[in-house]
Every structure is written in C-alpha cells, then in structure tokens.
Amino acid sequence: MKDVLISGRRIAQELGIFFGCFVVALGLNIYSIIKFKTQWSELLTTLHITLAVAIVIFVLLAILRFLLGGVARMFRRKTS
C-alpha cells in the first residue's frame, strides 16, 4: 500500500481556506446579531455553532473545488 504525502504548502493552503470559511460564518453570525437586535454575548456563546457552520461551508467548498478540478482536468489538452 502506498503512503499518502501531503505537502506543507497544501496544508497551509487548506488551513487558509478553512480560516476564510470561519470568517464567513462569523460574519453571518454578526449579521444575524445586528439584524435581530440580540446581545453581542451571543458571538461567544454560539461559537460552537459558528464552527459547525464553517465546517459545512468548508465541505461544500471542497466538493465544489473537487468537481471543478475534475471538469478542468477533463478539458485540459494533453501535451505529449
């Protein structure tokens, strides 16, 4: 069985993408606090929900990236 090696650059890239997803989820939380005029303490008390939303966004984005990468690979011209 082959070992799978993940480069440090790839790990850093995925962490950056996840951080972006977390910022988007946090922004949605801030928007909902402002829209529904609730207390700002909910920013900390709903942090676990924000993290879960960030994971869902990350997984959906990963599926989209996988599909787009597959389509791009199908239409890539072979240079041999």
Q: What is the mean pLDDT of the chain?
A: 93
Residue 59: inside a domain: yes
Residue 80: inside a domain: no
Asked if residue 77 has pLDDT above 80, the reply is: no
Residue 26: inside a domain: yes
Say what the pLDDT of residue 1 is.
79
Residue 63: inside a domain: yes
Question: φ, ψ for residue 60 (rounded to 5)?
Answer: -60, -40
Tokens 């599926």 found at: 63
Tokens 């997803």 found at: 21
Q: Report pTM.
A: 0.85
In angstroms, the CA 75 to CA 78 distance is 9
Asked if residue 2 has pLDDT above 90, the reply is: no
Q: Which domain holds residue 47?
A: 8-75
Mean pLDDT of 5-22: 96
Q: pLDDT digit string (tens) for 44-58?
A: 999 999 999 999 999
Residue 53: inside a domain: yes
In the three-class reduction of DSSP (H, G, I as helix; E, B as strand; rest coil), residue 78 is classed as coil
Residue 36: inside a domain: yes
Close Cβ partners of 20 (under 8 Å, ≥ 6 residues apart): none
Count of C-beta atoms within a 10 Å radius of residue 21: 21
Residue 30: inside a domain: yes
Asked if residue 24 has pLDDT above 70, the reply is: yes
